[in-house]
Every structure is written in structure tokens, then in C-alpha cells.
A and B are shown apart, each in its own frame.
Chain A
């Protein structure tokens, strides 16, 4: 129900003292008792008013507090459906620079919406501090309550807690950064022409997914530390000197050839945009800044792309839990319950494979089921659970869930917490598709022999590095024609798609000299090569 297509995505990560070092409030092991039961449920007309949203929000906030949800401050904004479509078009952000592809998105959304082919999301939530949630004007009161619980408390606490978000996004500066980038790019357009900026942005967008840091760069050493290291190294080298070696006679003619060829970059680099920003020979300073803007935004969205199941599951779990608790406490009327439950059921519906509605695993369904299952394992473990999850079976559920939310991404979350119980419930099965064989093979199903393989396969399915081809900067011919060589390392012999040639044209435009791409298979043999010349002006 939330929409944050993680297609584009500012990520100046947290400072070292923030990440890891930053303390967070420990979750309570027990739910705090309700303050006092209300005399009657909150009013439940179908139309919302500001007053009512205020009242509901107040109760939801108090309930979330009882569970110890740690969130950024909330900012709820009421918007119209047109504004929702505007937000859709700029990747869910309230401001963004201008680009034709957002226009395309807007036109497509508008068309589908007007024809009734598609409903709009009920809400959009932005990972910012304060956390902005958009509530759509058309929603009924019950939906608004659902959205507040889902976005303003579910997603919000996930944004604040999950390690990837803490590491890669700075929620307090994202809006300012987007405003800056919008102005900067508008200024570039004025100065250098719409065409030049558009082409540059097209090229950067093509590499967006390959423009993120997957690991934190080591922080720069201080001058003193650097010097201390150098003296250590020299002292060590001095210790190794044995004058005898110098007296050995050399092979004639061997000395020149023996000089090792120096590579650039010394190590392959996986952040293509960063490499281009820092090293492309012909880019103007403004062009580097634009590359940087796109790269930063890609980095901002990087955690979202890796935590879809976890994020949606967490939000869905919490709106379900919070609203149910409110009902138990006597705040919600029956009609409201039915209305939001209907919507909730639609959201977590998982059509089986083969059905017309099937389009892969529904992240809401899987995520919601997994958190619910973790709670079940904590509270009512079976023998199987005790065997599979000895560490969490019977443990208090709130801290366990909190730990699961903070320290994982989709891949590791599924690898850690997908229980046999759930695999049976979803009736999961794995299909092996090997090009060399004429038929598909069912490699594992939900039985004793299959659980581990199934879990591993599903976990890999959510591994971003397996979903996207592994392409790295391999070499730059520094002394020759300055050509850039990228290397695609094939995983399980999967080839690159047909778009590679087109993307390479974009790389060549940024690099300014020839670009080569080579696919290398598991055996280390080059299977395919591409070469693209830069456009001549």
C-alpha cells in the first residue's frame, strides 16, 4: 500500500559516531498497560475531519508508545489525488529535479488512474526527519487511521531503526538536498541548455543502480596516523633487507620487462558513477556535480531496494497490531474494524502460482507473515521451532522483533527467520531453470529435505547483488587510448541482457573515450565483448 518505488533513489550516510555508536532506546519486554479504557469508542463517521484525524492519531501514538516504537517526529500532510500523482511522478519525493522520464511516469499514472485501471496508493511516506506521510483526501476515516498506523508508525520506526537506513541515509537532510539538487539542475539547464543536461541525466540514470556504495569507504587517516604507518612500513622493510640478495646475478634483459605494469584503478571498483565522477577525463565540473547528485539520490534509495519485504512487512504488522490493540482497548467501533480489515486483507493477498493475478511473491504478504510468525515462535513455540530457532523460541517477542527489524536486510532476514511452518503455509517450492537442460526441475518443496534449500533460494532471490549483474570498473588504459574497460562477472552463467549495448553508449558519453565491456564466466573465460565509441560532437 505504500509506494516508494525504489527506482531512483541522497544518501550521505550517518557519521561514524552515529552508526553503531548511536544508542537507541531498548524496546520494552512487556507491553505497557493501557492508561484507561475510554467510555465509548472514538466517533466513526466515514468522512474524516482534521479534528478526527487528530483524535485518532493521538490514540495511535499512545498505543505505539506502549509497544515502545521508536520513531522520528511525524508530519501528516493531506493531499489530493492530483498531488499524489505528482508525487508518484517524482519517485515519491516532495521535490525533485525535472526530467522527462518523470513526465512519462506522470502521464502513464494519470492515464491508468483516469481509466480506472489502477488505484492510487493510499499513502506515501518519506524517509525524512520529521517523517512526512501523505494522506489522500479521498480516503475514508478508517483508511486514514490505517495509513497513520502503517506509515507514520510502521514505516517511520523502520526508517529510524534499520541498520541500512542508519548507515546510508541521513533523514534530516534529504529534503534540503533535493531542493538543492533541483535548483542546481535548473541552473545547469539555464546555463548549458536543456539538451546537454537531459543527455547527462539520461546517462546517469542508466547507471543509477551501479552508482551506489555497497560498503562504507574507510575514513581518511589523519596526517599523523598516515606518517606513523609509513614509518612502520619502512621499518619493517628495513628489517627484511638481506644484503645477500643484491649480489645474485640477474638474467640478461630481464630487468626491464620485470617492471610490473601499474593498473588503474589498482583494484576493480563497483561504484561506476563514483568512478566516473572522480576520474572521467573530459567532464566539466558542473557535469561531475550532476553525476554526484544522481549518485547521492541512488544511494538514498539503496536501502529501500534491499528491505522491501522487511519494510512493508513491518509496517503491515504494526498497523494490524496497533489497530487491533486499539479495538481491544475499546477505541475502535466495529464498522471501522471491518473496513480497514478488508483493505488489510487485500493488501496481504497472495495469489498462488498459475493464477492470473500472480506476479511473484507479495512482499506485504511475506513480510507480514514472517513478523507474525516470529511473534508466534516467541509466544507459542512448537518442538520444530525450538529445534530451528533455539535462540528466540520462548523469548519475549517485542525485543526479538525489534532486533529482527534493526539488524537485517531482506536477504539475511529471510535466511535467518523463514520458518518451516511458514514455508508449509505458503506452500513454497523452488524451480531450477538450467539453460542446458530441456526441462525445468522442481528442486525443493516444503518438506524436511527441502526447507533449507528453499530458504536459501528465497533468500538469494532477494539478494540485490544477485538480482543485478555484477559489473565493475576493471581497467583504464591510462597510457594509451584512455579507454575504459568494464568487466561483467557472470553469476551462474547468466548473460547480460540486450540493453547492455545501449547502456554502454551512456557510459561512453560520460567517459568521453572508448568503453569496452567483457563478460567473464565462472571459469574465467571471456564469453562476450562489447565496444562503444563516444559520440563525436
Chain B
């Protein structure tokens, strides 16, 4: 009897991953809903986390033909204490209780609760940003550190053994052996024919014998020479060749412009931060080569780092154009439009120094929008002031400028999805 003990521990777990994917796929709607709800309720700091998803049991039901309650049935149970034949017992409430259950009731003990499972952080983010993309992204040019793609490029005569092309190598060797041996082989055949003729003639005179031995020696030498042609020579070896070709890559930069003026109260700041956090998570998750420029402004604009952008608490009056001017400067200094896909996202409460709003529109129309692939504006307050009106005029004139309002935390995610949905998809 063959006996084997196999250690399977190293041979991969998570064989069920495919099944889990199918499960998630099937319940995509419920999961999306759960994700949406989760985002609405979460603080900014823990947006990027997993989530428990509840799915009603009935949606997971796999129906089979089964007996319903009713009819006559007899069930056998162990552990009789007091009964004797003929006793009458009250029917237990709830039908399938201790009395009438039979053997089938064992696996349905959990009741009608929802089926709850945990969506991992990765899966959560996957659903979260599903079908979103930066609009109008194009591959612009070769970056400083270009991306390479390898593809096949015929054969070369040197390479690593793993790339050896055996058929082509052997074909080369065969050709070389034929070519190199051709002259010797012809001489050999001639000599053999002569020798055969001599043998056939049967002459035994001295000259003939001498000739024969000469011929034999010649044949021997020729054979030896043929033998010396190597079966496989280094020059026969052919290797598959792969070359690296530089491909254009996408380089993109996102400008985040946030209003931190005095009119932005805590709630409005919270809303705009929430918007930018979503944007930041989305960008860093989906695009490897992306730069984010954070600009915040009150009466003056300043470029800040991520930490300051989300967490600092400076405040003052409002001049929106200051941020746009700074953005324009930075573009001209660091991000030539020929090399970069430029995006802008701006959040404000729409409360601007009123002489400034017209200037904002001009800046956008003349300088910023021609350089941008897409510019999104989110107003985190309801009243439509002159900034909103000026921007509305921009939106009419320029297709890649979008503006939305979000006045509650619950609206941020839908607005975000709307602004960054993939073309041809519904948010």
C-alpha cells in the first residue's frame, strides 16, 4: 500500500477568492449602497477603511423543493423521560420546535438575521471608486523616467539559455553541417565509386592494389574530416530576442484649491475637506504617476503640503482669484502643458469679494481652462452669489468645466461620483 504524507501548507490558501469575487459581484447593489452609507457617516480620518455589509438572508436564499409544514409526520427523538404510548402533547409553538422538528432543523438555527460580512479596505475602495476616472486624460509624452514595454523582436545570436530557440538553432546547425560537408562528401562519394569499380573489375595487379589502398586511405581521411564537423556550433545558437521600447506615459497633476476664509465655518470646511480627501484617495489609488498641488487661500493664496492642507486652521477674508493666480504661476513654472495633464478642483462657499468674481472668470477663461483637461468646482453652501453666477457663465462656454453644489456630508460622495464618472457610465 502506497503511503504518502503531503505537506500542502505552502501551496496557497485563498483558493476561494474567485468564489468571493462572484459573491461580491452578485450583491454589488447592496454593497454599493452600504459603501455609500458608510461614507456619509464616517469622519474624514477613517474614510479609507473596510466596512461591514448587511445583506438580507432572503437575497441569499438558494431555493430547493422541500416539504412545507402540515400533513402527517412521525419523528423519532432520543431521551424519553416521562412519556408512554398514547400520551397527548401540546403542539410546541413555532412549528419546528423540539416536538415536530425531526432531523432537518439542525442547520437553520440562526434565524432571519441579515447575512453580515466584512468588506476589506481594498474591496471597499474598489467599490468606492468604481467606474471613476480622470476625464480627458491623454498620454502626452515620454517622461524623464520613461516607462518601458518589452516586446518580441526576432532572434539574436546570443542570450540566456532560457531564451534558446531550439528549433531555429537545430535548423541552423543542420544547414551548416550540410554546407561545410558538401565538398568532402562529394569527394568521398567519388572515391567510393572508384573503389567499388576497382573491386568490381577484380584486377589484382600491383598498380590496382596500390590505387585501392590509396583510395581507402583517402576515404578514411574524408570520413574523418566529415566527422570533425561539429554537430552543434556556437554560431548555430539562436536566442529569442526581446527589446525594451519606451512608451509614452501619462503624467498628470491635480491642483486642489480650497477656500479657508472666515465665511467658511467649520461645517463648510469639513465638507470641502471631505471632498478633497475623496479626491486624494481616488488619485493616489488609481494613478501611479500623479502629482497633487495643494493650494489654500483666504485673501492670499499659499501652496502647502498635504498635512497643512487638511489640518491647519488659518483664516482671513476672501479673494478667490489669488488662488487662481497662484495656480497659473505654478503651471507656468513647473508643469508645461505639453507634458502634463492638468486638472483643477476647487471648493469654496461662493462668498467672494464681489469685485473679484469677474476677475476669477477671466482668469479661468483666459489662462487656466485652456491649459486644463478638466476643472471641477464644488460649492459647499447653498446661496448663489456672484461667484456662482460668473462660474455658471464659464460652465456654459467651456465643456470641460463642471460645477456642483454640496451642502451636506451625504451629498459629497454623489457629487464626487458625478464629477469624476467614467465617460459613458452613470454615476
Tell whether, in the assembled complex, residue B19 and residue A461 are in contact, meaning their CB atoms are under 8 Å apart.
no
Tell me the bound Cα distance from A210 to B66 in angstroms: 11
Q: Are B22 and A98 in contact (CB under 8 A)?
A: yes
CB pair B74–A100 under 8 Å, yes or no, is no
In the complex, what residue of chain B is closest to A73 when comparing beta carbons? B2
Q: Does A535 contact B (CB under 8 A)?
A: no
Cβ contact within 8 Å between A99 and B22: yes
CA of A438 to CA of B72, assembled, Å:
12
Mark out the residues of chain B between 84 and 130 whose CB falls within 8 Å of any chain A CB in the assembled complex.
84-91, 98-106, 109, 115-118
Instruction: Please tell me if the beta carbons of A496 and B26 are within 8 angstroms of each other in the complex.
Output: no
Q: Give chain A interface residues in 73-103, CB to chain B under 8 Å.
A: 73-80, 82-83, 85-86, 89-90, 98-103
| A78 engages B7 (CB within 8 Å) | yes
A334 at interface, CB cutoff 8 A:
no
Stretch touching chain A among B57-65, B144-152, B230-238: B57-65
Binds A, one of B10-18, B214-222, B378-386: B10-18
B73 CB–A CB distance under 8 Å: yes
The answer to whether B85 touches A206, judged by C-beta atoms less than 8 angstroms apart, is: no
Q: How far is the CA of A205 from the CA of B61 in the complex (A)?
A: 12
Residues of A within 8 Å of B80, CB to CB, are: 353, 427-429, 445-446
B64's partner among A102, A208, A460, A462 (CB-CB below 8 A) is: A208
B397 within 8 A of partner (CB): no
The answer to whether B23 touches A107 (Cβ under 8 A) is yes
Q: Is residue A137 contacting chain B, with contact meaning CB distance below 8 A?
A: yes
Q: Are A495 and B67 in contact (CB under 8 A)?
A: yes
Query: Knowing A77-B6, A86-B15 touch, does A107 contact B20 (C-beta < 8 A)?
Result: yes
Is there contact, CB below 8 Å, between A496 and B67?
yes
Which chain B residues in 1-57 approach chain A with CB under 8 Å?
A: 1-9, 13-16, 18-26
- Complex alpha-carbon distance, A503 and B15, angstroms: 30
Question: Which residues does chain A contribute within 8 Å of B83, judged by CB atoms?
Answer: 429, 442, 445
A495 to B66, CA, bound (A): 9
- In the assembled complex, the CB of A77 is this many whole angstroms from the nearest CB of chain B, namely 5
A439 within 8 A of B: yes
Q: Any chain B CB within 8 A of the CB of A180?
A: no
CB distance from A444 to the nearest CB of B (A): 6
Judged by a CB distance under 8 angstroms, whether A111 is at the interface is: yes
Contacts of B77 in A (CB 8 A): 353, 361, 428-431
Contact at B90–A440, with CB atoms within 8 Å? Answer: yes
B63 near A503 with CB under 8 A, answer yes
Determine the chain A residues whose CB is within 8 A of the CB of B109 once the complex forms: 359
Question: Quick check: B4 and A108 within 8 Å, CB to CB?
Answer: no
| B203 at the A interface (CB under 8 A) | no
Q: CB-defined interface of A45-67 with B at 8 Å, one 1/0 digit per residue?
A: 00000100110011001000000
Residues of A within 8 A of B73 (CB): 432-433, 492, 494
Contact code string A124-152 (vs B, CB < 8 Å = 1, else 0) = 00000010001001000000000000000
Please indicate the chain A residues that have their CB under 8 angstroms from the CB of B87 in the complex. 441-442
Write out the residue numbers on chain A whose beta carbons fall within 8 Å of the beta carbon of B75: 430-431, 433, 457, 461
Once the chains bind, are B19 and A431 in contact (CB under 8 Å)? Answer: no
Does B79 make an interface contact (CB < 8 A)?
A: yes
Say yes or no: B13 contacts A499, CB within 8 Å.
Answer: no
Judging by beta carbons under 8 Å apart, are A89 and B22 in contact? no
Residue of chain B at shortest CB distance from A350: B78
Q: Is the CB of A360 within 8 A of B74?
A: no
Residue A502, interface by CB 8 Å: yes
Within 8 Å by CB of B67, from A194, A355, A469, A506, lies A469
Decide if A431 touches B89 in the complex (CB within 8 Å).
yes
Task: Give CA–CA (A440, B83) in the complex, Å.
Answer: 12
A504 to B304, CA, bound (A): 64
**Interface window among A167-175, A242-250, A340-348, A447-455:** A447-455
Q: Does B313 contact A (CB under 8 A)?
A: no
B76 adjacent to chain A (CB < 8 Å):
yes
Check if B9 sits within 8 Å of A137, measured CB to CB.
Answer: yes
Instruction: List residues of chain A with CB within 8 A of the CB of B116.
Output: 111
A354 at interface, CB cutoff 8 A = yes
Interface assignment of A179: CB less than 8 Å from any CB of chain B? no
Contact A77 B8 (CB under 8 A): yes
- Tell me whether B5 and A78 are in contact (CB under 8 A): yes
B154 partner residues in chain A, CB cutoff 8 A: none
Contact indicator B86/A442 (Cβ below 8 Å) = yes
Instruction: Tell me if A76 and B4 are in contact (CB < 8 A).
Output: yes
Q: Which of B18, B26, B60, B101 contacts A360 (CB 8 A)?
A: B101
Contact B76 A467 (CB under 8 A): no
CB neighbours of B74 from chain A (8 A): 430-433, 443, 457, 460-461
Q: Are B62 and A492 in contact (CB under 8 A)?
A: no
Q: A50-B5, A73-B1, A86-B14 are in contact. Are A194 and B84 (CB under 8 A)?
A: no
Nearest neighbor of B91 in chain A, beta-carbon distance: A440
Establish whether residues B103 and A86, one from each chain, have CB atoms under 8 Å apart when the complex forms. no
B161 within 8 A of A: no
Instruction: Tell me if B13 and A82 are in contact (CB < 8 A).
Output: yes
Does the CB pair B88–A440 fall under 8 Å? yes
Contact of B25 among A106, A108, A194, A443 (CB under 8 A): A194
Q: Is the CB–CB distance between B85 and A445 below 8 Å?
A: yes
Nearest residue (CB) in B for A359 is B106
B90 neighbours in A (Cβ, 8 Å): 439-440
- Does A358 lie at the interface of the complex (its beta carbon under 8 Å from any beta carbon of B)? yes
Q: Are A442 and B89 in contact (CB under 8 A)?
A: yes
A429 to chain B, nearest CB (A): 4
How distant is the Cα of A71 from the Cα of B2 in the complex, in angstroms?
11
Cβ B70 vs Cβ A495 within 8 A: yes
With the chains together, A431 CA to B72 CA distance in Å? 11
Task: Name the CB-closest residue of B to A210.
Answer: B65
Q: Given A111-B116, A431-B89, does the pair A355, B103 have CB atoms closer than 8 Å?
A: no
- Residue B399 interfacial (CB < 8 Å): no
Instruction: Say yes or no: is A500 at the interface (Cβ < 8 Å to chain B).
Output: yes
In the complex, which residues of chain B have a beta carbon less than 8 angstroms from the beta carbon of A506? 63
Interface assignment of B68: CB less than 8 Å from any CB of chain A? yes
Q: How far is the CA of A104 from the CA of B396 in the complex (A)?
A: 49
Bound-complex Cα distance A495 to B21 (A): 37
The complex places the Cα of A309 from the Cα of B198 at a distance, in Å, of 94
A86 vs B17: C-alpha distance when bound (angstroms): 9
| Chain A, residue nearest B108 (CB) | A359
Minimum distance in angstroms from A362 CB to a CB of chain B: 9
A351 beta carbon closer than 8 Å to chain B: yes
Using a CB-CB cutoff of 8 Å, which residues 290-309 of chain A contact chain B?
none
Tell me if A198 and B26 are in contact (CB < 8 A): yes
Chain A residues with CB below 8 A from B227, complex form: none
Min CB distance A283 to B, Å, is: 21
Contact B16–A434 (Cβ < 8 Å): no
Which A residues touch B88, using CB under 8 A? Answer: 439-442
Are A490 and B85 closer than 8 Å at their CB atoms? Answer: no
Complex partner residue of A90 from B3, B16, B64, B67, CB under 8 angstroms: B16
* Residues of the B chain whose Cβ atoms lie less than 8 Å from the Cβ of A354: 79, 81, 98
Question: Within 8 Å CB of B103, what residues of A?
Answer: 360-361, 461-462
Name A114's closest neighbour in chain B (CB-CB): B118
C-alpha spacing A428/B7, complex, angstroms: 45
Complex contact B68–A494 (CB within 8 A): yes
B424 contact set on A, CB distance < 8 A: none
A417 proximal to B (CB < 8 A) = no
- Known contacts A205-B62, A428-B78, A445-B85; A497 and B1 CB within 8 A of each other: no
Q: List 20 A-B contacts (CB under 8 A).
A: A76-B3, A76-B4, A80-B13, A83-B9, A103-B23, A108-B115, A205-B62, A210-B65, A352-B78, A360-B101, A361-B103, A429-B83, A431-B100, A440-B88, A461-B74, A461-B76, A468-B66, A490-B71, A494-B67, A499-B63
Q: A111-B117, A488-B65 are in contact. List 13 more A-B contacts (CB 8 A).
A: A74-B2, A76-B3, A89-B19, A90-B19, A209-B64, A210-B65, A428-B77, A430-B76, A433-B72, A433-B91, A444-B85, A460-B74, A495-B69
User: Residues of A with Cβ closer than 8 Å to B?
Assistant: 50, 53-54, 57-58, 61, 71, 73-80, 82-83, 85-86, 89-90, 98-108, 111, 130, 134, 137, 194, 198, 202, 205-210, 350-355, 358-361, 426-435, 438-447, 449-450, 454, 457-458, 460-462, 467-469, 471, 488, 490-500, 502-503, 506
Across chains A and B, which 4 residue pairs bring their CB atoms closest together, nearest first? A352-B79, A103-B23, A494-B71, A103-B19
